[in-house]
Amino acid sequence: MTSMLSTDHLIYAMSPNNAPVTHVADGDTVIIQTCDCFENQITSEDQDFGTLDWERINPATGPIYINGAEPGDLLVVHIQKIDLAKRGVMTTGPNLGVLGDELSQNAIRMIPIHNGKAIFSDTIELPIHPMIGVIGTAPAVDSIPCGTPGDHGGNMDCKCITEGARLILPVNVPGALFALGDLHAAMGDGEVAVCGIEIAATVQVQFHVQKGKHWPTPMLVNDEQIMTIASETLLDDAATRAVKNMVHFLEETCGVDKAEATFLLSAAGDLRVCQVVDPLKTARFELPRWIAEQYGFTFTY
């Protein structure tokens, strides 16, 4: 069954206390409309940052209750389709992003989207790479702002969370209470300006509840790779945990000896930065999927 969820239903924190706005069954598809990370408040390059309501940043649409999802299960989210709005926005300025200590004025860039390109300037057109910045389930106890990443997902800003990928999230509360938002037309690893090309979008996802698996979440599976994603206060710690999560996954799921798994990651895997500008930093470890499949890994969703 396919249903639609509009931007009439926005949350600003992922929380076990959020009331679900819709219930769906395992295997259902939902089409989710999203605002950009500023809740579509920026409409002009001349706009004063002071006019923004900063309590309305990084909204996510939801939450969605998936029937049959119970604490301890995994929620597999198949990202089937992303349709972007016709214009995105980028912002940076003092105390924002990596260069925030060197910038003296706020800057806004409106970026049209046309024929699969982001019109960055009169001379530069960038290929679009639609991806989801905020996507997750409710934590077990605490409320976590949508702008903060964590083991529940959230604002991971991983550019691989795009069409065709399967994101694997923990189910911490009955129904999972899933939500997503903060789409980008394109974003480089690091998101160094504190933004990608922020844009409203419509996202089609399909849900699958997986029981009896104990994988280190969040994880991402696409046709080419398996990824472990980790967020910590320090980037070094996020990188370390992303690596360890992949080793533990190979140990527990594929029966690979710890030393052999470590050799594999060092010889054939890639450790990458997702973002360095959110309250927690996020890293991912990428392993070619065929290697895990050689050790018996199967994934049917």
pLDDT 10s digits, 219-278: 999 999 999 999 999 999 999 999 999 999 999 999 999 999 999 999 999 999 999 999
Work out whether the CA dihedral 3, 206, 32, 20 comes out positive or negative: positive
- The residue-averaged pLDDT of 46-51 equals 82
Give me the mean pLDDT over the 133-146 stretch: 97
CB 204: neighbour CB atoms within 10 A? 17
Q: Indicate if the pLDDT at residue 49 is higher than 80.
A: no
Tell me the pLDDT of the chain averaged across its residues: 96
All residues at 6 or more sequence positions from 61 whose CB lies less than 8 Å from its CB, including other chains = 5, 6, 7, 9, 10, 11, 32, 33, 34, 35, 179, 180, 181
Q: Where are the alpha helices (DSSP H) in the chain?
A: 235-254, 258-268, 289-294
Inform me whether the pLDDT recorded for 52 exceeds 90.
no
pLDDT at 50 over 80: no
**Does residue 48 carry a pLDDT above 90?**
no
Say if residue 112 is preceded by a cis peptide, omega within 30 of 0. no
User: For the stretch 23-48, what's the b/e string if a residue is b when 16 or more beta carbons lie within 10 angstroms of its beta carbon?
Assistant: ebebebbbbbbbbbbbbbbbeeeebe
- Write down the pTM of the prediction: 0.96
**Confidence at residue 2, expressed as pLDDT on a 0 to 100 scale:** 86
- Does residue 26 register a pLDDT over 80? yes
